[in-house]
């Protein structure tokens, strides 16, 4: 046995066995057209997916239909539709009714599935007494006994000759999660072939792994990546590697037995721009709560081109341990219910970019945010 083989065998024996497994399967067939009934089915599925959670929250056995007429308070459920600042409720039979929100505090957006308590005196509108926006969700409980660390970063990576990626790879980490975009239209000023540009990134990652024998890397593409399709959800990219994983956008996967939900779609900004509210609360926390508790990787109604048929298969049934997103919101992390919500931000210039470090010791978790150019900016054990 050669010296190199002996060294490799010893390193492999001492490496950590950290498993990575898909929770939601990759997209099999892309459909490049949108049918109206796909939207209706998606809306119906979303309402149905949260119905039991709201029943458990309210400790009731059934909801009244939205056209139920009563001068007594009753509970009903549906999806919020806002048109010209007027709020409506859509049910799973595609029926709508106007909501009178004058007597309650609220933060609402089109596409939000809510339960509410109210009265319908004449069948024309529901006078809302209270909105409920946080259903009971199944929670993934970890019994992890392995110590490992994770670094998370988002693109673009190509500015200044891949300087951002080199910064990410300076430290040894057990797991690295890289969010796209990897190759944008702007990067074509530096490279001529986007596929070759992405291959250069893969070569750097494989070189890093040769000196870090136990490391594993997860890649999530973006709709801004010009070497792949632009329709959301996106499929994974075919990579021939045992330790570099490419998952779809969005995706859910386990690292050890911690459940991760990840997307590079800017759902935070999307949701915030559609919000109508009359309460005084911190915007980032409001929208992060909605992303965790709405049970969906696309909870808003927008004019964006998305494949609603595929999104129906991306309705999440369990609150993740970690929800990771890349948004133009300033980078932040918060504990939202059972979930660590992490926004890596989306900054093109290296001096403004942030990375997120997660240190896991058994079931104890520490999260810190690290600036690319200034070292650790803030640290907190959540």
Q: Indicate if 95 and 156 belong to the same structural domain.
A: no
Residue 4 lies in a domain: no
- The pTM (predicted TM-score) of the whole model is 0.90
Supply the pLDDT for residue 229. 80
Q: Indicate if 50 and 150 belong to the same structural domain.
A: no
Q: Are 253 and 260 within 8 A, CB to CB?
A: yes
Higher pLDDT, 12 or 301: 301
Residue 381 lies in a domain: no
If you average pLDDT over residues 155-167, what whole number do you get? Answer: 87
Other beta carbons within 10 angstroms of residue 280's beta carbon come to: 6
Supply the pLDDT for residue 12. 46
With a cut of 50, say whether residue 258 has pLDDT above it: yes
Return the CATH number at 96: 2.40.50.430
Token pair 């997916």 in the structure block, residue = 49
Q: Indicate if 298 and 351 belong to the same structural domain.
A: yes
Last residue of a domain, one of 132, 157, 180: 132
Q: How far apart are CA 108 and CA 43, in angstroms?
A: 16
Least confident of 13-17, 82-86, 142-146, 335-339: 13-17
For residue 220, give its domain range: 17-32+138-371
H-assigned helices in 122-158: none
Residue 259 lies in a domain: yes
H or E stretch covering 364: strand 364-371
Last residue of a domain, one of 132, 156, 176: 132
Residue 379 lies in a domain: no
Last residue of a domain, one of 95, 112, 132: 132
Q: Indicate if 236 and 318 belong to the same structural domain.
A: yes
If you average pLDDT over residues 169-192, what whole number do you get? Answer: 92
Residue 3 lies in a domain: no
* First-to-final CA distance of the chain: 48
Residue 5 lies in a domain: no
Name the phi and psi angles at 53, rounded to 5.
Answer: -65, -40
With a cut of 60, say whether residue 353 has pLDDT above it: yes
Q: Indicate if 147 and 294 belong to the same structural domain.
A: yes
Binned at pLDDT 50, 70 and 90, residue 21 comes out as very high
Angle at alpha carbon of residue 43, lines to 40 and 46, rounded to 5°: 150
Q: Indicate if 238 and 348 belong to the same structural domain.
A: yes
Return the CATH number at 21: 3.60.21.60
Higher pLDDT, 120 or 41: 120
**Mean pLDDT, the chain, whole residue set:** 89
If you average pLDDT over residues 79-95, what whole number do you get? Answer: 97
Q: Indicate if 121 and 239 belong to the same structural domain.
A: no
- In this predicted model, what pLDDT tens digit does every residue of 302-331 receive, in sequence order? 888 888 877 777 777 789 999 999 999 999
Q: How far apart are CA 64 and CA 77, in angstroms?
A: 8
Supply the pLDDT for residue 52. 97
Q: Indicate if 146 and 120 belong to the same structural domain.
A: no
Q: Indicate if 177 and 295 belong to the same structural domain.
A: yes
Supply the pLDDT for residue 14. 47
If you average pLDDT over residues 251-263, what whole number do you get? Answer: 96
């Amino acid at each position: 046995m050669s010296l190199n083989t002996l060294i490799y065998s010893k390193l492999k024996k001492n490496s950590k066995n950290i498993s990575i497994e898909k929770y939601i399967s990759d997209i099999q067939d892309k459909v490049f057209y949108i049918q109206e009934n796909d939207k209706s089915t998606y809306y119906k599925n979303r309402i149905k997916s949260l119905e039991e959670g709201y029943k458990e929250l309210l400790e009731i056995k059934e909801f009244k239909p939205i056209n139920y007429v009563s001068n007594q308070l009753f509970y009903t459920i549906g999806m919020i539709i806002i048109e010209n600042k007027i709020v409506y409720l859509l049910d799973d039979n595609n029926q709508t009714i106007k909501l009178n929100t004058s007597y309650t505090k609220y933060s609402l957006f089109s596409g939000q599935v809510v339960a509410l308590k109210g009265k319908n005196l004449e069948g024309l509108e529901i006078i809302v007494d209270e909105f409920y926006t946080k259903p009971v969700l199944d929670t993934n409980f970890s019994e992890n006994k392995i110590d490992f660390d994770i670094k998370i970063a988002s693109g673009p990576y190509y500015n200044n000759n891949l300087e951002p990626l080199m910064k990410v790879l300076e430290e040894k980490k057990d797991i690295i999660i890289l969010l796209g975009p990897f190759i944008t239209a702007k990067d074509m000023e530096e490279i001529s072939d986007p596929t070759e540009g992405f291959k250069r990134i893969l070569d750097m990652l494989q070189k890093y792994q040769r000196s870090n024998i136990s490391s594993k890397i997860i890649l999530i593409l973006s709709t801004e990546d010009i070497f792949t399709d632009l329709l959301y959800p996106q499929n994974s990219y075919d990579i021939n590697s045992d330790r570099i994983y490419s998952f779809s956008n969005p995706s859910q996967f386990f690292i050890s037995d911690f459940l991760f939900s990840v997307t590079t779609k800017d759902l935070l900004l999307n949701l915030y721009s559609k919000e109508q509210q009359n309460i005084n609360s911190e915007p980032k926390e409001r929208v992060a709560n909605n992303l965790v508790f709405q049970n969906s990787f696309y909870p808003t109604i927008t004019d964006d081109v998305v494949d609603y048929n595929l999104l129906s298969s991306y309705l999440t049934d369990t609150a993740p341990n970690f929800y990771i997103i890349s948004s133009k919101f300033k980078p932040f992390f918060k504990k939202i219910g059972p979930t660590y919500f992490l926004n890596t931000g989306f900054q093109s210039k290296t001096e403004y970019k942030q990375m997120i470090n997660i240190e896991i010791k058994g079931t104890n978790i520490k999260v810190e945010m690290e600036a690319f150019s200034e070292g650790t900016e803030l640290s907190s054990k959540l």
